[in-house]
C-alpha cells in the first residue's frame, strides 16, 4: 500500500511539473512576443516621425507666392482626404506614413488673398504664428483622430502631427535668415506680417528692400543697373548708383526733378 501511494505521488508530481513547464513556456513566449511587438511599434513610430519631418521640409521648399500677396502658399491639394487632402503626387515629399496610410495634408492660404483651390481659408492678415500647413499621420491604428482644424490650434489626438507656420516658411528649411521671393514692384510688398530683417527684391527696379518691423526700406541700387542720362529715377532712393551704356557712373538726384545725373 505504501509503495502504491508513493508511486501515485510521483506521477502526480510529474504531471504538475509538466503543467508548470507549459505555463512557464506560455508566459515566456508571451513576454517575448510583447517585447518584440513593442520594439516593432517603437521603430515604426520613429520611422513615421522621420517621414513627417521629411515631408514638412520638402513641402516648405515647394511653397511659392502664387497669388502675389507677399505670403508663400504651400502646394495645393488635389485628392481629398477627410477635411484635408493627400500630399500632391507632384510633390517630392513622402506620401504615406510607416504603416502605409496616406498622410493627411492641410494647407492654408494666408495673406490678403486667402482663398484658393486646394487650400483651406487662411488668416488675413497673415501673422508670423499663422499655420501654413499641417501633416497628420493616422498612426498604428490607421484611423485619423485629428482634423485639420485641430492640428491648426494644437488640439491633437493620438496621431502624429507636424505644423509649419508663416515664420518657419519665411526662414526656410535651414532656419538661416529671411530672403523672401521677388515681387513685381514695391507696391506688391506686404504691408504687414513680414519678420524683421526680411529682404525682398523688386523685379522692375532691381532694388532690394529691408523690412524694419514697421516699413520697407530700400537699399541702394547696385551700379550694374544700366540707365540713360537725364531719365526719371523717382522709383529709386536718392543716391542710388547706376551706369550708362558707356560705363559712366550716374547717381539718382534727391532734388526735383528726380533724374539720373552723371557723377563728375
Helix ranges restricted to H, the chain:
2-61, 148-153, 166-171
- More reliable by pLDDT, 100 or 22: 100
Mean pLDDT (the chain, rounded): 81
Place of cell 495645393: 76
Find the range with the poorest average confidence among 53-62, 115-124, 143-152.
53-62
* In the chain, % of residues over pLDDT 70: 80
pLDDT of residue 25: 55
Q: What is the pLDDT of residues 101-120, one digit of tens each?
A: 999 999 999 999 999 999 99
Q: Which domains does the chain have, with CATH numbers?
A: 47-171 (no CATH), 177-219 (2.10.10), 220-264 (no CATH)
Place of cell 511659392: 64
Q: What is the pLDDT of residues 41-56, one digit of tens each?
A: 778 888 888 999 999 9
Place of cell 523717382: 234
pLDDT of residue 10: 58
Secondary structure (3-state) at 193: coil
Cα angle value 87/92/98 (rounded, 5°): 65
The HSE-up count of residue 151 (CA atoms within 13 Å, CB side) is 29
pLDDT at residue 185 is higher than 70: yes
Question: 103, 86, 88: which is closest to 139 by C-alpha?
Answer: 103
Pairing of strands 208-211, 199-201: antiparallel
DSSP per-residue string spanning 47-61: HHHHHHHHHHHHHHH
pLDDT of residue 83: 94
Amino acid at each position: 500500500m505504501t509503495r502504491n501511494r508513493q508511486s501515485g505521488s510521483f506521477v502526480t508530481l510529474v504531471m504538475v511539473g509538466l503543467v508548470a513547464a507549459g505555463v512557464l513556456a506560455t508566459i515566456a513566449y508571451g513576454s517575448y512576443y510583447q517585447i518584440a511587438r513593442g520594439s516593432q511599434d517603437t521603430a515604426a513610430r520613429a520611422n513615421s516621425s522621420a517621414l513627417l519631418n521629411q515631408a514638412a521640409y520638402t513641402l516648405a521648399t515647394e511653397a511659392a507666392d502664387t497669388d502675389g500677396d507677399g505670403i508663400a502658399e504651400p502646394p495645393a491639394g488635389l485628392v481629398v482626404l477627410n477635411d484635408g487632402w493627400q500630399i500632391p503626387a507632384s510633390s517630392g515629399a513622402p506620401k504615406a506614413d510607416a504603416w502605409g496610410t496616406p498622410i493627411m495634408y492641410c494647407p492654408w492660404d494666408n495673406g490678403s488673398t486667402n482663398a484658393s483651390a486646394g487650400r483651406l481659408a487662411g488668416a488675413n492678415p497673415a501673422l508670423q504664428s499663422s499655420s501654413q500647413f499641417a501633416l497628420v499621420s493616422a498612426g498604428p491604428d490607421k484611423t485619423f483622430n485629428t482634423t485639420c482644424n485641430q492640428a491648426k490650434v494644437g488640439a491633437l489626438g493620438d496621431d502624429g502631427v507636424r505644423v509649419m507656420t508663416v515664420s518657419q516658411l519665411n526662414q526656410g528649411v535651414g532656419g538661416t535668415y529671411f530672403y523672401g521671393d521677388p515681387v513685381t514692384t514695391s507696391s506688391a510688398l506686404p504691408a504687414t506680417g513680414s519678420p524683421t530683417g526680411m529682404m525682398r527684391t523688386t523685379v522692375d527696379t532691381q532694388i532690394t528692400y529691408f523690412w524694419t518691423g514697421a516699413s520697407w526700406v530700400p537699399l541702394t541700387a547696385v551700379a550694374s543697373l544700366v540707365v540713360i542720362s537725364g531719365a526719371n529715377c523717382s522709383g529709386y532712393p536718392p543716391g542710388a548708383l547706376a551706369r550708362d551704356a558707356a560705363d559712366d557712373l550716374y547717381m539718382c538726384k534727391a532734388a526735383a526733378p528726380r533724374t539720373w545725373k552723371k557723377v563728375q
